[in-house]
Structure 1
Amino acid sequence: MPATERPKLGGHSPSQPSPMSTANAACILVIDDEPQIRKFLRISLSAGGYRVVEAGSGEEGLAQAALARPDLVVLDLGLPDKDGQAVLRELREWSQVPVLVLSVRAAESEKVLALDGGANDYVTKPFGIQEFLARVRVLLRQGNAGESQASSVSVGPLSLDFAYRRVLLDGAEVALTRKEYAVLAMLARHLGRVVTQQQLLKDIWGPTHAEDTHYLRVVVGHLRQKLADDPANPRFIVTEAGVGYRLRES
């Protein structure tokens, strides 16, 4: 067992349900490829009154993040299909759900990369379960999940499916690059509201590119071409001059 201490179950055996109603319990998504770690966390978190959703790969984790709308994500970095840092970047393209990284990687560079990439906290394995649960409680109290995370958004004939990263226009799939999808998804998550150029650049390109507005102009131009969106009379993407962009509500 990689943890340094066993969970204290408060008098309840692991098989017993938590006394908290599952309908009202915070949902925690655990993305980890090790079944024993997932089982350990499931028992510990369930005993603490939380509802647990599990994923054993990065792609499954991203899909569950869109479908289950968790209040917190516990993310391992060593996943079988893609690196956890990449999963974190993709998740941050459309969601601000709190993320607690749980990894054997103890190097400072890994921690900095994860925190700069949008993680809210970082715990190394082996770990103490009581400290881990305390960190979970802190992140949930902070309320970083913000708005309800819908699994899809529709604007007239345009629809985005966040679970499968698909964009449809009049029922036909639109092929987008990673950056094009990231910009469109971020605008969709703030439907009807202006997202500043700096916010888009920092969240999608990284904090060192906050002033590289030409990157953003090129991507938005390509998006408009693919969506047949006339910038002079936009159906979808509206430019707020000198500020940023917003996705028009239907």
Structure 2
Amino acid sequence: MAATLNLVGAGHVGRALGRVFAASGAFALQDVGARSAASAQAAVDVIGAGHACAGLAHMRPAQVWMLAVGDDQIGPVCAALAGAQPLAGAVVFHCSGAKASSELQPAIDAGALVASVHPVRSFADPAAVAADFAGTFCGIEGDPGALALLEPAFEAAGARLVRIDPAAKTVYHAAAVFASNYLVTVVDAALRAYQAAGVSPAVARELARPLATEALANVFRLGPEAALSGPVARGDVATVARQHAAVTGWDAPTGQLYEALVAPTADLARRKHGAS
């Protein structure tokens, strides 16, 4: 039979994963706890399973506890959980991509096995995530005993698990920032530079679109070394210097961004030519 699961946190992540677990039978969802009964009930209504509870003390003991709370709340909520519930032998895990399972020290002290399972998804639309969870990559780390229970359950829910080094958890999370957030920042710099040259915003997006999409497609098809092109890859130092000066003259912060990218791009170019 599936292990009993209590969900602490009624936000987007909790609702989406709770719905996935309820639909797949990966866990037997028992109680859903939140700061208020109304919030917990709203989550239960979305999930379609579980019993709403206002506060940790009103939840029943469970084999597994999932803390679907903000990063800065993991430690305090875990401490409160350890003070309110018997955790010896239970599995306690959180869903943060930035914090390691060691953040759950109060649960460890109470005799629990701990882990972290980070679904690599945007949870802006919990219903959409729940409906399309199959194939979702999850970074997972923690106690072997916790992983022995969690890994088959998440796989039953359709997850693709990737074990990560807990000591490098912050770097792991930064990888997502580079692949997503900072990518948007760099494209924004390109769009603003086009506009500085007199191109309308709508046309600027059309000019940047094939460059960005083809570059990304080449990275994932050929690898970053083969995908790299442009003046740094060619060793055209004069053009790089001229562009840096021009961009700095137009907008100093964007000039700093341009300069910051030269050295790592030159390193990538050396790898490119060393591999060719």
Same fold by TM (over 0.5)? Answer: no
More helix per residue: 1 or 2?
2
Higher relative contact order (Cα pairs below 8 Å, separated by 6+ residues): 1
Taking structure 1 as the reference length, the TM-score comes to 0.33
Q: Which has the larger radius of gyration?
A: 2
